[in-house]
Amino acid sequence: MFTQSDLQPALTLAHCQALDVQDPLRPLRDAFDMPSGVIYLDGNSLGALPKTTAARVAEVVTQEWGQGLIRSWNSANWFTLPQRLGDKIARLIGADAGEVVATDSTSINLYKVLSSALSIAAQDAPLRKQVLSERSNFPTDLYMAQALCQERGFELRLIDADALAGALNDQVAVLMLTHVNYRTGAMHDMAAVTAAAHAAGVLTVWDLAHSAGAVPVALKADDADFAIGCGYKYLNGGPGAPAFVWVHPRHSERFWQPLAGWWGHATPFEFTPDYRPAPGITRYLCGTQPMLSLAALECGLDVFASAQAMGGMAALRAKSLALTDLFIALVEQRCSGHGLGLATPREHTQRGSQVCLTRSEGAYAMVQALIARGVIGDFRAGDGHEQPDILRFGFTPLYLGFEEVWNAVEQLRQVLDTQEWKLPAFTQKQAVT
């Protein structure tokens, strides 16, 4: 594993190349179909394509669907695929087998678990009428919470991250947080936050969209209540890949989830007119599951099985920190004087697997100029308060190397030094930023 001392001399290209030679995870890069001439720093938005995915999806289409037809629900074990993939995800997030299902989208799964949490709160603490979250939480989470609060007679209360400790009072029913902030890369201490919430009588709902597959997560050990997460970012399941949902076993059978579909029925093929929820996490399924998308997600998850023999999440986390440390150091050394700030925490325990640079002017155009040079990151607008616009870069240790970090910063330096970002072609906003 890499340590901070490994990076002390690593501010030359030669040292970065040496780190790649020493990297025990380097063989994992060969599991991905990476385009030539591209440095991909956006795996926190959409993961790269595993080499096995295209053939596996083609097999599902031509053989399991084309030849097996409806028989494949049994012969190819389609019916249990959400649970089988859930077990693979469980190993990455500190859950046990049988506690996770891969299904639906992050937003839909959040609706399910937040609704269940509010039902528990209404029964156990009916005077608590607030859902607490960060103002900088990912918007879809806030939108879902806002809709549910309106529907259920609760209030959505938004705070800044540094006000969290003092906001957990006897009015709060549920604390809803994203473990790693999508805009800044700042990471909560899940164990400490969950303990503080429980001490105040508050349930916790965690969004792991920017955590699963990138940083170690310990849901059971940290005593979390509910969690959902994304399949198309660090899990490399493909655009729009199914998400996942976890519910602590102490809560999983207390209430129906609100989307009571036939796949969550205790005996779906009895086709009874009354709904009886399945035991455990299976009740968090809803309608018929997308086999092509689940097959693609499984290819992404199987890369983590290979990583397990190389040290697993601990090794991936060590490399992630080494990559992000290097990027921060190189930007500060080689791009100084250009008005760049750092939104991402320097402290390892507070950092996810991304680095977010701030700039008061031209951030979007700078990202577009980098993309034109083959360095793919993305842009996030300022939060409307004190934080300026952000150049966001994700560091996926499964396929990113240290020399690529050096080259990415060199391209950024050239964009800044030449003021290439001021060209009109880079200022035109596209639909997806």
Active site residues per annotation: 138, 207, 232-233, 392
Q: At what angle do helices 402-418 and 363-372 cross, to 10 degrees?
A: 120
Name the token pair of 169: 């009072």
How much is the CA Rg of the chain, to the nearest whole Å?
22
Q: Specify the DSSP class assigned to residue 341.
A: E
Q: 190 near 212, Cβ under 8 Å? A: no
Q: 198 near 168, Cβ under 8 Å? A: no
> Token pair 């998400």 is at which residue?
243
Beta strand 130-134 with 172-178 is parallel
User: Using CA atoms, how far apart are residues 359 and 344, in angstroms rounded to an integer?
Assistant: 13
Cβ neighbors of 419 (< 8 A, separation 6 or more) are none
Cβ neighbors of 166 (< 8 A, separation 6 or more) are none
> Token pair 């289409």 is at which residue?
61
User: Using CA atoms, how far apart are residues 345 and 189, in angstroms rounded to an integer?
Assistant: 13
User: Using CA atoms, how far apart are residues 248 and 316, in angstroms rounded to an integer?
Assistant: 26
Q: 354 near 395, Cβ under 8 Å? A: yes
Q: Among 290, 234, 413, which Cα is nearest to 340's? A: 413
> Which helix (H) or strand (E) segment is 155 a member of?
strand 155-159
Phi, psi for 8 (deg, rounded to 5): -55, -45
Q: 317 near 2, Cβ under 8 Å? A: no
Query: Angle at the Cα of 406 (from 404 to 407), degrees rounded to 5?
Result: 65
Q: How many CA atoms lie within 13 A of 419 on its CB side?
A: 3
**DSSP letters spanning 157-178:** EEE-GGGHHHH-STTEEEEEEE
Q: 351 near 344, Cβ under 8 Å? A: yes
Q: Among 291, 329, 285, which Cα is nearest to 56's? A: 291
